Each structure stands twice: as structure tokens, then as C-alpha cells.
Structure 1
Amino acid sequence: MTVAGSKTYTAFAGSRRIASGVLAEAAVQAKAVLDADEWAQVLIFDDVTSEVVDLDFRGTASDVLARLAEKTSGSTETVPEDAARKPGRPKLGVVAREVTLLPRHWSWLAGQPGGASVALRKLVEQASRANAGRDQRRQAKDSAYRFLSAIAGNLPGFEEAARALFADQPEQLSNQMELWPGDIRAHAMKLLSGAFERAGDGACGE
């Protein structure tokens, strides 16, 4: 069970990083910047996915926090009272969803110990472990690209940097970002720490 408030976020005002922490902290700092300059370009990023968080900054800082609390209060997942009557044994974390396979696949699954559901869960677990490193690198690249697209899309060398990112060329990527604002570069490098197979040796390592 994940509580939304335990996640961390980073806020930028233009090219300057103004906050890093839980969403409430980032929101308060962003609100302070907007109160000082209503035309400031403020963005708050999820530190894992780099999705931009959309907040309502009208009113006082207390108003912003109140709306944020109301918005996130229902984000914790709960099990409905009638969940035990639904397929998939949701109380154990197992959820029923449609899977489309060819007849020969169903025939093979039916012959496995425990039946199709157990066999599919085992296959998924094996695949997730085998591809863990690859998945981590892909997710890191996607997150870094999402961040850079939102905040550095107009900077010189952005297109070249994007190509280098997905071509597994950390040195070329670092070269393209060399003249970018320091806070943008630092946050991008943090996101990129898991983007390449040998992150510790890459030019984008911290």
C-alpha cells in the first residue's frame, strides 16, 4: 500500500530548482514563487516518473494545501467490502483481468501444475526478474526524456541530447547538456543514473 504523501517531487521555476521533497513542500515553495511573480513558469515533477503535477495555486498557501490534502486523501488504495465476492481473490492482491491467448497457449497452460493462473503468475515473475535491469534502464530513460521535454525542449542541443539518450550514448548526451543551466543538468543526471547499463562508468553518472 503506497501513501501518496510519501512520494517525492522536485519543483522548478524556469531553469531554477526551488524545492525537493514531499508534494506539500514543493507546492508551498512553488506558491511562494508565484506570489512574488505571477508570470513565473513553475513546474513540479514526480521524482520517479517525471510526470508534471497539476495543482491549483489560487488563494493562499493554506488554500493550496487544503485542496491538495482533499485531492490526495482518497489516493490510498482500499479493498471494497464486496471484494471477496469478486473473481481474482483481491484480498490476497490477486486481480482478475482478461487475457487473450491462442488455443495452443491455453492448452499448454491447462496442463501446468496449479492450472493457467498459477503458471501465468510464475511466467510473469520469471520474466520480471530476468528483465529487471532492462526495465529499469528503459524507465529511467523515459523519465529523463519526459523531464527534459518539459523543461529543456527549447534549449540548444535538445534534439541531439534526446537522440543520444535513446542511442545509449551517455558521453554525447553529457556533451549536449554541458552548457545547460546547472539545476536542469543536475536533475537530469540524477534521473539518468539508472539509464545506462554501466551507469557508474557513464559520463552522465553523478
Structure 2
Amino acid sequence: MNPAYVAFEGERRIAAGDLPEVVRTAKQLLDRRKDAAILVFNGHTSALVDIDYRGSVDEVLKRLPKSATAPAEEPPAATAPRGPGRPRLGVVAREITLLPRHWDWLAQQKGGASVAIRKLIDEARRASGDKDRTRLAQDAAYRFMTTMAGNRPHYEDAIRALFAHDRRRFATLIADWPADIRDHAISLAHSDQAD
């Protein structure tokens, strides 16, 4: 399982874990070495996280996005009348557009349209779960490799091997890359095996 966030300074992985922990380590390194170039990645998607390192460690931590540092909170009690849906259960009303034949079919289903649509979605998610996990793992590995290894030898061939599901060739092509970059790329590429 990949950590929530990962920080690299050049070719070296310097921290992994929750965002405050990773940013604290990165900021401490930046305070010691002003020339350090640090990139922080979302550990699951490989999206780069923009961090404002100005000020003290505490000031930097206060500016972190709340969604990345705190568990989800209960939404505040609504003072206005509630609309359709069941917000306390996480059910949110949104609009979908269907053809008349779809509405006719949904109207005939036990439990009504909402129940039928939820069942169809759950069934589709189960059926495509492995494919979705593989695609997300490949996308995360691709993003990370493009940022950290786009100029490395065999980069393009490694990307081809990644998307061709050729794990042996992928590992062979990146074997000479810096260890932390290589190991993280492999971890991301194989993260579809988790769960």
C-alpha cells in the first residue's frame, strides 16, 4: 500500500506518510539547505502538491489544505430547508438525463428509479473493479515517471511496458534508475494488486 504523500529531494525519497509529516520533513530540509528542490506527490495519484514553504514549520503546516490534513467532518446542520436526498446518509440529489425508454424501464423496477440506478452502478463497479484499479495504478506511475524520470534512459520504453502490462520488461528497463525513483515507480505500477 502506498503512503498518502511522498516527498523527493532530487533523486532521493526524503519522506512518506501523512501530509503534515511529509511537509515538516521537507521544510526542515529546506531550512538546512536553501538550494534543495523538493517535490511532494500524492501517494496514490502522483499529483504534485503545491506547498508554500514560507515562514516557520508551524506557519507552513497551518497553510496546508484542510482536506488533506483532517478527517472528514460532519457537515454543519442546515438552517435552510433541505432539498431532495438524504444528506445524513451521504445521499445527494443530482440531475441525470435519460431517454423516455430509460425512464419507462426504471419506473417498472422494484424500489423505484433511485434504487435501480444505485444497483446498476454497484454492479458495474464490481464488474470493472480490477480494470479500474489497474488503470489508476498505471496513470499514477505514468505521472510520477514523467515528472521524475522523463529524461532517464529507457523512459519511453518503460512507459510502453507499463501500459502493456509487461512487468518483467518494465522492471528491467528501469533497473538502472536511482533506487528511490525506481522503487517508487514499481510500487505505483503494482499498486493495483492491493486490496
Matched ranges for 1:96-115 at <5 A: 96-115=93-112
Instruction: Return the alpha-carbon distance in structure 1 between the equivalents of residues 160 and 92 of structure 2.
Output: 39
Give every structure 1 segment of 4 or more consecutive aligned residues whose post-TM-superposition deviation is greater than 4 Å. Answer: 69-75
Q: Which deviates more from structure 2 when the two are superposed, residues 89-98 or residues 112-121?
A: 89-98
Report the equivalent of 1:38. Answer: 34
Identify if the C-alpha distance between structure 1 residues 74 and 175 changes in structure 2 by more than 3 Å, giving closer, same or farther.
closer
Amino acid at match of 2:37: Q
Structure 2 alignment gaps of length 5 or more: none
Name the SS for the 1:10 alignment partner: strand
Q: Does 1:177 align with 2:174?
A: yes
Considering Cα pairs closer than 8 Å and 6+ residues apart, tell me whether 1 or 2 has the greater RCO.
2
Q: Retained in 1: the 8 A contact 2:19–2:69? A: no
Report the equivalent of 1:57. Answer: 53
Q: Does 1:138 align with 2:143?
A: no
Length-normalised TM-score, structure 1:
0.83
RMSD, aligned CA: 2.3
Name the SS for the 1:123 alignment partner: helix
Name the SS for the 1:68 alignment partner: coil
Matched ranges for 1:189-204 at <5 A: 189-195=186-192
Once the 2 structures are TM-superposed, how far is the Cα of residue 73 of structure 1 from its aligned partner?
6.7
Once the 2 structures are TM-superposed, how far is the Cα of residue 84 of structure 1 from its aligned partner?
6.7
Name the SS for the 1:78 alignment partner: coil
Task: Tell me the matched-pair count.
Answer: 191
Q: Does 1:10 align with 2:27?
A: no
Once the 2 structures are TM-superposed, how far is the Cα of residue 24 of structure 1 from its aligned partner?
1.2
Q: Sequence identity of aligned pairs in percent?
A: 49
Once the 2 structures are TM-superposed, how far is the Cα of residue 35 of structure 1 from its aligned partner?
2.2
Length-normalised TM-score, structure 2:
0.87
Identify if the C-alpha distance between structure 1 residues 156 and 61 changes in structure 2 by more than 3 Å, giving closer, same or farther.
same
Amino acid at match of 1:130: A
Once the 2 structures are TM-superposed, how far is the Cα of residue 183 of structure 1 from its aligned partner?
0.2
- 1:23-76 deviations in Å (ceiling 9; x for gaps): 111111111222233332211111111111111101122221232276757773
Q: Which deviates more from structure 2 when the two are superposed, residues 37-46 or residues 51-60?
A: 37-46
Name the SS for the 1:43 alignment partner: strand
Q: Does 1:150 align with 2:179?
A: no
Q: Retained in 2: the 8 A contact 1:141–1:166? A: yes
Identify if the C-alpha distance between structure 1 residues 193 and 38 changes in structure 2 by more than 3 Å, giving closer, same or farther.
same
Once the 2 structures are TM-superposed, how far is the Cα of residue 78 of structure 1 from its aligned partner?
3.3
